[in-house]
Structure 1
């Protein structure tokens, strides 16, 4: 047995134990926690039908699910980062700046509306967009893990900087001449449903499988629960955390691709204010802001819950101006419930 394998079982098991220790009781509790939003989704469906019969139409339900895909990918990335004990606010800007940079590289200038370089063929737009997302994760990792800058402040600064870069490159205008290869995934339909829905579900399933069965995936819970114990057990904490930050950036950039294809253009304000919804969905889905706890299934139900709330409010004639207030209220209520349900003691 190697030196790195032995301590992983002996010392990190207590941290992984939030998902594995005391199987007879704790796993059952975790499963109930994962399913806690399912009744809420059902109740929202009933309320939606009462508010408007149009709620249960296929067009409306498919619209709700498709609108959940872009937010869902941001929540997926943020959930992985939160489980590892970190947070990334810059995902909100990455969903907008990555497509803008990709368009800037492949599209020629259009008069005074857009000063593109047009230096690369259109098929390179998707790889460039994903590479930008990965680069944002690399820079965040360098600031947090190497320079030891506070993660909240570092990613907040990155959010602001990227937002300014997005507006500067696009000159505050929407980019409408999007290459067909770039917009295909966002507008295509597979098996009668938007392709984005199938892609989002596949990525959530892949992420859940990685957390459950891959050693490095399970190690995220150990890192988020007690990084010092994880490091002592031979887990390469900084390397894995850096990879997770890059994965989060790539998922945010991919969300930008789907969003651009869905709406047919890259907006200068794309992603603006989304971070509030991302944290709201993650928190009500059971992802702990302290790290080391939560599941991707819970995060997915959090996304669906938020989108259903917005849809029911829209069908009920409630102005969209109240959405942000509602998201904030949902976060606070979820934090209070999580605080008492977990039995954690405050200092």
Structure 2
């Protein structure tokens, strides 16, 4: 057995400490980027830094933030869930159709419809978890198929029409305010804080990082990898359904394309926020700053009257730059 020289040991420890600081530096790097964008926005449009516009940015990004929270947990566990964007549409649609007179004819009370929305998200997560965790099917293919299936179910259930005349309770999260901010914003902040605390200090949170970093090693260490991985899909489904409810309140209706294409923004926010596509790395603070960065960019482009199709091009460019940054700072490519 070869002994490690003291100098080599110090160099190794120094390199390890340096590499452990890189993800945190990537997350904090978004803060000056946000500051720069705020300055640019103030120059481009004088109404950008007004309280009403900033609150509008936060309100508009609340639904995205909830879905990103769910996707980030799945990514940290080393898996993917593309179906979250369809859950954003189908979950609130089922709840609404059970409540409104023009729906399934059941006319359930509003609170029951809202409960069903969360249950639908959980059921989708349970089904995804069964196929991926128990049957060992590829997460990318399974959730892509679920995305298509759920999108078809949404179009079929709504008959391609927009759902209106929902109870006021369906809009409360997006329309009601507390200390000047929508309830949806406070909800997102609280959930990010709780999940971030749990990931850092709770046994399940630390186990999640271990599973994403090396699933077999985590299993050998006594971690119930299947149970935690399955739980993550359920939590992600519930968060996506909750995000769909918030989006419904923000828009004021549910259409057959609700959530369509949202997954691209979700991955963009997660990636630029430092969530590794390889699993085992990333924090909720980083994911939240990623959401805010995208929201500010979108609002800035809108105020600058840039055509909407350029927004997608900008988001795509942000993803590519973030992936290159992750490649050169993280030491290995993200696939």
Bin for the TM-score computed over the shorter chain: over 0.9
- 1:168-205 Cα offsets, whole Å, 9 max, x none, are 11111111111122221121011111111111100100
Q: Which whole-Å CA distance do the structure 2 matches of 1:140 and 1:46 have between them?
A: 43
The Cα shift of 1:54 comes to 0.8
Question: Unaligned stretches of 5+ in structure 1?
Answer: 1-20, 110-114
Change (3 A) 1:22 1:219: farther
Shift of 1:34: 2.2
Equivalent runs, 1:144-163 vs 2, <5 Å:
144-163=132-151
RMSD: 1.8
Q: Distance between the aligned counterparts of 1:346 and 1:254, measured in 2? A: 29
Deviations 1:76-119 (A, max 9, x none): 0000000000010000000110000111222222xxxxx42325
Specify which of 263, 286, 289 is matched with residue 274 of structure 2: 286
The reply on whether 1:329 has 2:299 as its aligned counterpart is no
Measured after TM superposition, the shift of residue 311 of structure 1 is 1.0
Q: Contact between 1:103 and 1:116, CA under 8 Å: does it hold in 2?
A: no
Aligned length: 322
Alpha-carbon distance between aligned partners in 2 of 1:346 and 1:270, rounded to the nearest angstrom? 30
CA contact (8 A) 1:123 1:181 kept: yes
Shift of 1:32: 2.2
Separation in 2 of the partners of 1:333 and 1:185?
34
CA distance in 1 between counterparts of 2:291 and 2:185 reads 13
Aligned residue number for residue 70 of structure 1: 63
8 Å contact kept, 1:281–1:302: yes
Deviation at 1:123, TM superposition (A): 1.7
Secondary structure of the residue aligned to 2:39 is helix
Task: For residue 228 of structure 1, give the secondary structure of its aligned residue in structure 2.
Answer: helix
1:1-347 map, 5 Å: 25=18, 28-109=21-102, 115-344=103-332
Secondary structure of the equivalent of 2:277? Answer: coil
Q: Deviations 1:133-162 (Å, cap 9, x if unpaired)?
A: 000000101111122211100000000000
Q: Distance in 2 between matches of 1:299 and 1:345?
A: 19
- Is there any run of 5+ residues in structure 2 with no aligned partner, and where? 1-13
Aligned equivalents of 2:259, 2:281: Cα separation in 1? 27
TM-score, L = length of structure 1: 0.89
User: What is the DSSP-based 3-state SS (H/G/I as helix, E as strand, rest coil) of the residue aligned with 2:313?
Assistant: helix
Distance 1:313 1:119 in 2: 42
